[in-house]
Amino acid sequence: KEIVLDFDSSDIELHGHQQNRFFHGYYDHYCYLPLYIYCGEHLLCAWLRPANIDNAKGSLIALKLLVSAIRKRRPGTRIVIRADSGFCRDWLLNWCENHDVGFIVGLAKNARLEALSRDLLAQAQAEHEATGLKGRVIGEFEYETRDSWSRPRRVVARIEHMREGPNPRYVVTNLRGDAAWLYERVYCA
């Protein structure tokens, strides 16, 4: 038995001067930044938050409550969280690792990740050049941030190369399994 909890913080665009509204540069408008947690189609958490906060704020509180409730009602159920890079915080990943909760979370690309995936980037580019079609490679490696993570972690890289150039995507996970299966079937589900 496994339960996958999807974390989302899509914006709610505002029209007018609602209390606690803030301009969010990423979304390019005034909004709130609610926290939603789903299990399949079932909404388990909806927390209205202003947009001037860290995307992951409050997620650990909600996760602790949900994990406690799930384990009380369904002991032995494997719990996995799936989230985008806005939730990739060491304190959240540490809590999951220390409480037997699986995770697969987006990881924003940076120069160090691209350097570690140089061979994968070259493979995808060679595939694109040979066929004229999109080159696509999935691989993995161990990655540790310089100062924001407390330990090295497994990163799955999905690298595509198209006429427009490379398009790398990264996720960090503590789940077992084939990298392609984790990216395509678990993260992208």
**Residue 13 to residue 174: CA distance in whole angstroms:** 34
Q: Give pTM, 2 decimals.
A: 0.90
Mean per-residue pLDDT, 84-113: 96
Q: Flag the least confident range among 10-24, 111-125, 154-168.
A: 10-24
- d(C-alpha 12, C-alpha 23), whole Å: 11
Q: What is the pLDDT of residue 51?
A: 78
pLDDT tens digit string along 133-169? 999 999 999 999 988 999 999 999 999 999 999 999 9
CA 116 to chain centre: 19
